[in-house]
Amino acid sequence: MWNSPRYARISHRLHHRCTMVRGIDPETDWPEVITSRWLRNFFRIIILKILVVGAIPQLGRDVMVQIRRALGQKDRMMNGHCSEKDILVIRIESLAILLIHLAVVASAIRFRCWAPVLFFTIAWQIGAAIEQLWHSTEHIGRAYNVTDQRLSTRSVRVNPFIKMIFWGLDDHVDHHLFPGVPSRNLPKLHGIICKDLAEPGSMVDCWREMFAIAREKDMHPENEYVPVDELVKQQ
C-alpha cells in the first residue's frame, strides 16, 4: 500500500467516529455540493486508473504525499488528530514506503525487468481503483452531519468474488452500526437487523442513485437527499 499504516488507522478511526461529519471525517472530504460534473469526472478518473493511464500520475501524487509526510509536513488530519508520537511513526513508515519502492525500481533498472514495478510499485494504484468502483458507493451522495448511520452510509450487493476483494464490507451500513463485528460475521449480523435496513442495491444501482442525487444537486444545491426507506423503518 502507498499509505502509512498508522495514518490509515487514525484516519479510519475518525471516519467511524465522525462518519460524514464535514471538516472532521478525512475519508469523505469531498466538495460541499456533489454535482453531476464532479461525479462524472470522479468516475472518469477511476476508469483511467484501471486502464493504467491514470495510475501513472496517481503514482506521482502518492510519491509526493509520502515525501511530504516523511519530511514532517502535516495535513489537516495530522494537525488536529495525531500526537507527536503518531507523527514520528508516520514519518518513519512513509520513509520506509519510499525506500522499499525505490529499491524495487532500482532493481528493475539494474536487471532490465519491469514486471516488479508493474506488480508491486504501481499495482496499488490500479487495484485500488478497481475496488473503488464498489468502495465509492458507501457514502457519496448520502447525508452529512447526521447521527444515524443508515442515512450517511450505503450498502451494496456483490457476488462472492467481489465480496472477497471487498473484505466482506459490502454490508457497509451494518459495519458502521457495529464496527467491532468482524467482517466475516457481517452476513450473520445482517440477517438479524435487515428488517431495519434498506435492501442493498447492486453497484450499478448505487451509481445510478449517486448520479440521480448529483443531478438534483445541479438544479437545487441546497436540497439534501434523505433515504425514505430508512426513515419509514425508523418510524
Render pLDDT for 74-119 as a digit per residue (tens, 0 to 9). 999 999 999 999 999 999 999 999 999 999 999 999 999 999 998 9
Mean pLDDT within 186-209 = 93
At residue 166, what are phi and psi to the nearest 5 degrees? Answer: -85, 5
- How far are the Cα atoms of 41, 52, 108, 114, 197 from residue 154, in angstroms, in the given order? 21, 28, 42, 39, 10
pLDDT at 229 over 70: no
DSSP per-residue codes, 83-150:
-HHHHHHHHHHHHHHHHHHHHHHHHHHHHT--HHIIIIITHHHHHHHHHHHHHGGGTTTS-SS-S-HH
Alpha carbons 202 and 12: distance in angstroms, whole number: 24
206 Cβ contact list (under 8 Å, min separation 6): 137, 154, 156
Cβ neighbours for 224, distance < 8 A, ≥ 6 positions apart: 143, 144
Is the pLDDT score of 216 beyond 90? yes
- CA dist., res. 51 & res. 49, Å (int): 5
Which residue carries 529499491 as its cell?
Answer: 103
- With beta carbons less than 8 A apart as the criterion, state whether 121 and 105 touch: yes
Please say if the pLDDT value at position 147 is more than 80.
yes
> Domain residue spans in the chain?
5-234
Decide if pLDDT at 11 tops 80. Answer: yes
Instruction: Say what percent of the chain tops pLDDT 70.
Output: 97
The CA-atom distances, in angstroms, between 208 and each of 132, 137, 224 are 16, 10, 17
Q: What is the mean pLDDT of residues 47-68?
A: 95
CA–CA distance, 139 with 147 (Å, rounded to integer): 14
Tens of pLDDT, residues 12-36: 999 999 999 999 999 998 998 999 9
Under a CB-based contact definition with an 8 Å cutoff, are residues 187 and 172 in contact? Answer: no
Model confidence pTM above 0.85: yes
What is the pLDDT of the chain when averaged over all its residues? 92
Are 173 and 197 spatial neighbours (Cβ–Cβ below 8 Å)?
A: yes
Q: Which single residue is written with the C-alpha cell 437487523?
A: 193
